[in-house]
Amino acid sequence: MSAAEQFLLRHPGVVRLGVIVAILIVWEIAARWFIDPLFIAPPSRVIASLGAVWQTNGVPAALRLTLFELAVAFAIAVAIGLTVGLAVGLQPFARRSLAPIILLLYGLPQITILPLFILYFGIGAASKIAFGVTHGMFPIMLAIIAGVQNLKPVLLTSARSMGASRWHILRYVIFPHMIPSFFAGMRLGMTGVLLGVLLAELYVSTAGIGHFTTMFTENFDPTKLFGLIAMLAAMAIVLNEIVRRAEIHFSRWR
């Protein structure tokens, strides 16, 4: 193995940075010389426009609103997904009976029932949060159900034989062994929540990032549009990093 290969193996961040830089270079070249500027803006202009996007009337408030909707929807999705996933995964009869129904609901194209959410919750933040919850809770449920099935029954039997309570079994036996599946489900659920909230904002909203995304698109302003998308990407990266650090914290025993 050459010295360069050894260096790249020890520093995978260099490879990631190289891929990102290569994509940006290709994007810059394509946007400047091969693609109509009404459809896509080069990254140099997008970066330069971030200040203008932030100063656009209503954008800071929209970012705060969307972040609030994402945080609340994700917290509710985790609570529901964890509770239902454990209840279904720990009981063989419930798993055989209810897991297929959860899979069926997960496969339902939920955009088709968005009007029902608007009807029940209105056009405010509540409908965006509820729609985001429905997109995020099912991946968490399925990941926990799958993770619980990998738990060896002998561990539960041993814990009960030593007088462990239900809480102790959940805290010291079940939860540590389902951590990889749980956090994998949380990552998928966070992506689903983000998708659900933005879809609801795109279709029915007068505030939030989705509203300004529609406005910039209709005004043929790709520079501000991609600047707004960059801010949204930064928000998603921050949320993903929080989940990653939580996974590292709870997985220290491994």
Domain boundaries, the chain: 3-35, 50-250
Q: Are 192 and 141 spatial neighbours (Cβ–Cβ below 8 Å)? A: no
> What would the two tokens of residue 214 be?
């529609």
Contact 151, 173 (CB under 8 A): yes
Q: How far is CA 148 from CA 27, 88, 133, 135, 248, in A?
A: 44, 9, 22, 22, 20
pLDDT at 6 over 80: no
Q: pLDDT at residue 125 above 70?
A: yes
Alpha-carbon gap, residue 193 to 5, rounded angstroms: 39
In the chain, the amino acid numbered 144 is I
Q: Are 197 and 70 a contacting pair, CB within 8 Å?
A: yes
Give the model's pLDDT for residue 10: 66
**pLDDT top residue among 9 and 168:** 168
| pLDDT tens, position by position, 85-123 | 888 877 777 778 888 888 888 877 777 777 788 888 877
Span 50-250: which CATH code?
1.10.3720.10
Among the ranges given (132-136, 137-141, 232-236, 250-254), the one the predictor scored with the smallest mean pLDDT: 250-254
Cβ neighbours of residue 111 closer than 8 Å, sequence gap 6 or more: 199
Please state, for a pLDDT cut of 90, what percent of the chain lies above it: 1
**How much is the mean pLDDT over the chain?**
78
Q: Is the pTM above the cut of 0.85?
A: no
